[in-house]
């Protein structure tokens, strides 16, 4: 599990260490870890450290001190080291003295022979885009950048970029991850342990080991009913593909049973003969959770069926057309007693919430989840899953291969199957998003390692492989 901490939480955890350690010791501890990460980057790119040139772009805060100390350590290991001081009168004095004593040079701009740039302009206390002078410094070079703590110009809490900002190949952060490390383009992220005592937070992301622990693996005594029966209400004569994708994803997710109800019954069975399919919700039979909405339609009959589904004492995941209906009838889910998951993309979110998610996607998703009393999964390159109590799971994809038509139908089927197996709504949504993201990456790299366009059918075909790679 990865925890993401606010700037205030990091500062509070640093306070006792700063009080107990000699002056500057914590900064040098962080800078040594930074220098080690940079040295590793230089070796991977250039084969070594000696003879390479690094340039620290230094702001007035502690991050500038971290960057100068790291450049000092690298200089002592044989690298040439320059520093651009954006505010010379406010540069960390001890770090600057050490840098100059080691043979570092203060320069006005990044030299053309620079192998790597260290971004030490602003840290977790900064906000807003890069100022013009700093933006000009970074615009003058094509050398790879390593960011100290966060990429300068990117909001630490929301990951928002509102103007010029650094785009690093690597971000080295200290003590604990911050939301920006999941929400923004930080390159690779390395976390340096500097001895902070940090408790678990309410903003987290799952790792493969967490998904493995959550996944419903059948035991010796299980049968097709005890593993969970997933009901699917999706698709139509106009959009049979949504039903095929959604039902197929539920089939691929576990080895229990899938029941389908809707007008695409014949098409579903032709693709997935193991699905028990009927034409009407009333004839579907017993299930443990319902998936409703993809390709479902938004007419009065569809709305009436959705209302009937929500009245049943079972978990429900609502997606696509069901969200359009709920935008007109939010009271149907507001405070619903049974587990309920809504999975909007940005446009559907705007219809449900009355406003787009905006720059603070975590805050907006939390607010909607609290207002409706349900779990909300906001789709995107970084999926945000919020429970009504304010707890959040983030699922960074790292790419956008899953942004293809019908991909959400597959995700809905996976979530529904996990709900039917008994997972809590946020855990089901977060585990499903993790598996779905991995399946999209596998589909995009099939049959070889090079990435290529994929499709919802390709993602569905990789769901089992994704699960197997985790289990």
**pLDDT category of residue 401 using cuts at 50, 70 and 90:** confident
How would you list the strands of the sheet with 53-58, edge to edge? Answer: 105-107, 80-85, 53-58, 116-120, 145-148, 170-174, 188-192
How would you list the strands of the sheet with 392-396, edge to edge? Answer: 2-3, 203-205, 392-396, 382-386, 375-378, 340-342, 316-318, 289-292, 229-233, 257-261, 276-278
Tell me what pLDDT residue 448 has: 66
Q: Is the pTM of this model over 0.85?
A: yes
Token output for 307 = 């209302």
Same fold, 2-201 and 208-470: no
Tell me what pLDDT residue 450 has: 62
Tell me what pLDDT residue 445 has: 82
Tell me what pLDDT residue 197 has: 92
Report the distance separating Cα 97 and Cα 136, nearest Å: 26
Report the distance separating Cα 469 and Cα 421, nearest Å: 20
Phi-psi region of 176 (alpha: psi -120 to 50; beta: other; left: phi over 0): beta
Contact 69, 83 (CB under 8 A): no
Q: What is the mean pLDDT of residues 211-239?
A: 92
- DSSP bridge partners of 58: 85, 120
Phi-psi region of 88 (alpha: psi -120 to 50; beta: other; left: phi over 0): alpha
Tell me what pLDDT residue 398 has: 75
- DSSP bridge partners of 106: 83
Give the tens place of pLDDT for each residue, 66-82: 999 999 999 999 999 99
Report the distance separating Cα 260 and Cα 285, nearest Å: 10
- Of 462, 428, 446, 161, nearest to 289 by C-alpha is 428
Q: What is the mean pLDDT of residues 439-456?
A: 80
- DSSP bridge partners of 375: 341
pLDDT of residue 449 exceeding 70: no
Tell me what pLDDT residue 223 has: 85
Q: What is the mean pLDDT of residues 102-127?
A: 94
The CATH class that applies to domain 208-470 reads alpha beta
Contact 214, 427 (CB under 8 A): yes
Q: Directed axis angle between helix 240-253 and helix 407-420, to 10°?
A: 40
For β-strands 257-261 and 229-233, DSSP reports them as parallel
Q: Phi/psi at 74 (nearest 5 deg)? A: -70, -40
According to CATH, the superfamily of the domain at 2-201 is YjeF N-terminal domain (3.40.50.10260)
Report the distance separating Cα 95 and Cα 218, nearest Å: 58
**In a 10 Å sphere around its CB, with 0-12 CB exposed, 13-18 middle and 19+ buried, how is residue 88 labelled?**
exposed
Give the tens place of pLDDT for each residue, 307-363: 999 999 999 999 999 999 999 999 999 989 999 999 999 999 999 999 999 999 999
Q: Directed axis angle between helix 62-76 and helix 93-101, to 10°?
A: 20
Whole-angstrom CA distances from 203 to 124, 296, 378, 425, 449 are 17, 33, 15, 16, 32
Task: Give the distance, in angstroms, between the CA of residue 177 and the centroid of all CA atoms in the same chain.
Answer: 13
Token output for 468 = 């197997």
Q: Phi/psi at 300 (nearest 5 deg)? A: -65, -40
Chain mean pLDDT for the chain: 94
- In 196-347, the DSSP E strands lie at 203-205, 229-233, 257-261, 276-278, 289-292, 316-318, 340-342
User: Residue ranges for the binding site for K(+)?
Assistant: 63, 119, 152
Report the distance separating Cα 231 and Cα 332, nearest Å: 19
Give the tens place of pLDDT for each residue, 159-207: 999 999 999 999 999 999 999 999 999 999 999 999 999 999 999 999 9
Q: Where are the domains of the chain?
A: 2-201, 208-470
Contact 281, 263 (CB under 8 A): no
User: Residue ranges for the binding site?
Assistant: 62-66, 119, 123-129, 149, 152, 242, 295, 345, 379-383, 408-409
User: Residue ranges for the binding site for AMP?
Assistant: 379-383, 408
439-442 CB contacts, 8 Å cutoff, 24+ apart: 439/410, 439/463, 439/465, 439/466, 440/397, 440/401, 440/402, 440/407, 441/398, 441/399, 441/401, 442/466, 442/469
User: Residue ranges for the binding site for (6S)-NADPHX?
Assistant: 62-66, 123-129, 149, 242, 295, 345, 409
């Amino acid at each position: 599990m990865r925890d993401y901490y606010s700037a205030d939480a990091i500062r509070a955890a640093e306070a006792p260490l700063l009080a107990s350690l000699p002056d500057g010791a914590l900064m040098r501890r962080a800078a040594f870890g930074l220098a080690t990460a940079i040295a590793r980057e230089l070796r991977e790119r250039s084969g070594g450290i000696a003879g390479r040139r690094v340039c620290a772009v230094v702001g007035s805060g502690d991050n500038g001190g971290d960057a100068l100390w790291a450049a000092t350590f690298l200089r002592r290991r044989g690298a040439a080291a320059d520093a651009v001081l954006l505010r010379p009168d406010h540069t960390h004095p001890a770090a600057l003295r050490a840098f100059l004593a080691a043979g570092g040079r203060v320069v006005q701009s990044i030299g053309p022979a620079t192998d790597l740039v260290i971004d030490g302009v602003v840290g977790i206390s900064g906000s807003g885009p890069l100022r013009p002078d700093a933006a000009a410094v970074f615009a003058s070079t094509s050398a790879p950048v390593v960011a100290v703590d966060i990429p300068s110009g990117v909001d630490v809490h929301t990951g928002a970029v509102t103007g010029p900002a650094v785009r690093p190949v690597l971000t080295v952060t200290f003590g604990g991850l911050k939301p920006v490390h999941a929400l923004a383009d930080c390159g690779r992220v390395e976390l340096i342990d500097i001895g902070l005592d940090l408790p678990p937070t309410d903003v987290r992301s799952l790792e493969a080991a967490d998904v493995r622990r959550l996944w419903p693996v059948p035991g010796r005594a299980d049968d097709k009913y005890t593993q969970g029966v997933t009901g699917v209400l999706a698709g139509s004569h106009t959009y049979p593909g949504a039903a095929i994708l959604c039902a197929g994803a539920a089939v691929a997710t576990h080895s229990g049973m899938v029941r389908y109800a809707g007008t695409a019954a014949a098409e579903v069975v032709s693709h997935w003969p193991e699905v028990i399919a009927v034409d009407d919700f009333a004839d579907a039979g017993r299930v443990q959770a319902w998936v409703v909405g993809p390709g479902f339609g938004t007419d009065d009959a569809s709305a009436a069926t959705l209302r009937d589904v929500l009245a049943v004492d079972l978990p429900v995941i609502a997606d696509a057309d069901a969200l359009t209906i709920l935008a007109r009838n939010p009271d149907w889910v507001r405070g619903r007693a049974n587990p309920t998951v809504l999975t909007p993309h940005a446009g559907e979110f705007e219809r449900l919430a009355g406003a787009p998610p905006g720059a603070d996607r975590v805050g907006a998703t939390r607010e909607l989840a609290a207002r409706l009393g349900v779990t909300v999964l906001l789709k995107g390159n970084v999926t945000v899953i919020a429970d009504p109590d304010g707890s959040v799971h983030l699922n960074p994809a790292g790419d956008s291969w899953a942004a293809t038509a019908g991909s959400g139908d597959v995700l809905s089927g996976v979530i529904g199957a996990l709900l039917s197996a008994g997972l809590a709504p946020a855990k089901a949504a977060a585990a499903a998003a993790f598996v779905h993201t991995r399946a999209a990456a596998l589909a995009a790299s099939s049959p070889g390692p090079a990435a290529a366009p994929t499709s919802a059918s390709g993602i569905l075909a990789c769901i089992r492989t994704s699960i197997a790679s985790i289990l």
